[in-house]
A and B are shown apart, each in its own frame.
Chain A
Amino acid sequence: MAGIPVHAWTLLEAARAIREKEISSRELTRALLSRIERIDPQIRVYITVLPEAAMQEAAARDEELAGGHLRGPLHGVPVALKDIFCTKGIRTTCGSRILGDFDPPYDATVTKKIREAGAVLLGKHNMDEFAMGSSTETSWFGPTRNPWATDRIPGGSSGGTSAAVAAGTCFAGVGTDTGGSIRQPASLCGVVGMKPTYGRVSRYGMIAFASSLDQAGPIARSVPDAAVVLGVIAGHDRRDSTSVDIPVPDFLAATGKDVKGMRIGLPREYFAGGLDASVREVVERALKALLSRGAEAVEISLPHTEFALSTYYIIAPAEASSNLARYDGVRYGFRADGGTGLIEMMSRTRGEGFGAEVKRRIMIGTYVLSAGYYEAYYGKAQKVRTLLRRDFTEAFSGVDVILTPTAPTPAFRIGEKVDDPLTMYLSDIYTIPCNLAGIPGISVPCGMSPDGLPIGAQLLGRHFDEEALFAAAAAIEREIPLPRVAPLEG
């Protein structure tokens, strides 16, 4: 890896170099902490940096390795988490004022698993408040900036993690995706992001937004890196009754699989009018890459696609309004001053503790669940959800994976859509159906816009067939080599 600065190494390169003692975990961790210090003021990714704890963990990993003990595939590698995963003894904010200085009494299963695999935790990443947003602008801590153009948004809600991976201020991270919150920012930041099948990764200790849609997944600089991280965090957990008890396959091996004969579905509804020309061109490049390796293109139809956004904006806010009822200023977090009586304390705490987007969604959710409206909105949306799922089941009887754009446009400017919720919601139009159907999806970088902004393509797969997505995404990545990190210098 002569000539490539350490911060631009892939996670697999870093893990190998540590294992073969070419570099220590302490050297690598120190290099990244110093890069965070220089670069982060330009992009504002880290809500919390853990310089001392990270150096202590790195020293412990080095000592273990010297004694011949290797914890797992992330041994000694510095990574970070979206600030939605509980970290014992480390402030966890979910991008909100209402959590205050919440210091979780336990680790999320994702946190526990990356630690058990040997990772060094650098810190916690900025996000849209409670993961509600597509730009990381709704965070109480202020917006994160796109490392490729710092006047633009990084996407969201896992915008912090995507920006950090693109800026070389961590080797990989874990985000969450309820309607596109891993894939859309990954596309806008030029990195790889996967939302696994619902139930593949435990949601224990992951702060809930919409429980029937939320899923954790990896964000990384290469497809094999993402595969390794998913292998670490996946698996059944008795603490999450919706986590599925099936074996975790060798995802890294899947990235080396041939795509010859693979049938690639192209849903005509996703390529209809209104698609940005540069995005269309990039997705066509991805298709060409797959065809050049022997895959076949099949035109398909997902006829209920136009109803996905409406369905989502009933179901997600409804679940959110219920999940967020727990923030009442009683047991943890922020409590507003003044007022008399319990109800007034709770209402003021929530009024002052939540930001505008979260309040908007609580209002939508409460409205659609309220007496007299439940059947017309929530009941109806659950039925349309069935039709959307059926679209995919039928499509996958004739194809192995589906190729689409990830986001309708490259990164937009900070402030551009902040006062127009419906336009902002349209950012997730291609990613939302996947969550409603519970299927896996991945975004892989495929090119740049004329302005030098990254653009990704999305691949969707059958339930629990992340392997096909890794195989296809890795093939695209090999055919379309792109810069790994944004040219940011401090």
Chain B
Amino acid sequence: MAITREEVLQVARLARLALSSAEGEKIREQLGGILSYIRQLDRLDTTGVVPTSHAIEMGTPFRDDSAHPFGEKEEILKNAPDREEDFFRVPRIIED
């Protein structure tokens, strides 16, 4: 299954992945091969088959909606690549 360069760029944009043009071309070729392989599923008739999203049927577990404060804010914030006081600092979001 052939994938175009434009499709690769579009998927990379959706995934927020900056790819070099060499990387993009390699992924384009490999993705084509992998997608052709997985399209073998088309040979199976799955009409009326119920999809599986989890292997173990266990229903939805419920719990009380109660807060458990973590209490070690600094342990979290110290991992930030950039911070200002108790905030994560990021580059400009809205252009002037």
Residues of A participating in the B interface, judged by any CB pair closer than 8 Å:
100, 102-103, 105, 197-199, 212-213, 238, 241-242, 244, 304, 306-307, 309-311, 313-314, 321, 325, 328-335, 339-348, 350-352, 354, 356, 359-360, 362-364, 366-367, 370, 377, 379-387, 389, 421-422, 435-439, 463
Contacts and interface: CB of A to CB of B under 8 A. Distances in A.
A313 B81 contact: no
A197 B92 contact: no
Interface string B56-71: 1010010100000010
B23 to A, nearest CB: 7
A151 to B, nearest CB: 26
B76 A436 contact: no
15 contacts: A242-B56, A307-B40, A307-B41, A332-B81, A345-B91, A347-B17, A360-B27, A367-B35, A370-B14, A380-B46, A382-B53, A383-B50, A384-B44, A386-B52, A422-B34
A345 B30 CA distance: 27
Contact of A330 (B14, B42, B81): B81
Contact of A421 (B11, B34, B51, B95): B34
Given A242-B56, A331-B88, A339-B91, 5 more contacts: A103-B78, A212-B53, A329-B81, A367-B35, A380-B41
A345 B49 CA distance: 43
A207 to B, nearest CB: 14
A343 B92 CA distance: 9
A242 B49 contact: no
A384 B50 CA distance: 9
B30 A384 contact: no
B92 to A, nearest CB: 6
A461 B30 CA distance: 35
Contact of A363 (B15, B42, B52): B15
Most buried by B among A100, A238, A242: A242
Interface of B: 7-8, 11-12, 14-20, 23, 27, 30-31, 33-35, 37-42, 44, 46, 49-56, 58, 61, 63, 70, 72, 75-76, 78-82, 88, 90-93, 95
B72 A105 contact: yes
B64 to A, nearest CB: 10
A377 B38 contact: yes
B34 to A, nearest CB: 6
B16 A347 contact: yes
Contacts of B75: 103, 105
Contacts of A362: 15, 17
A363 B31 contact: yes
A389 B46 CA distance: 14
Closest 4 CB pairs of A and B: A438-B55, A351-B18, A382-B51, A105-B75
A382 B18 contact: no
Contacts of A306: 40
A314 B35 CA distance: 9
A199 to B, nearest CB: 5
A465 to B, nearest CB: 13
A321 B16 CA distance: 11
A343 B16 contact: yes
A313 B34 contact: yes
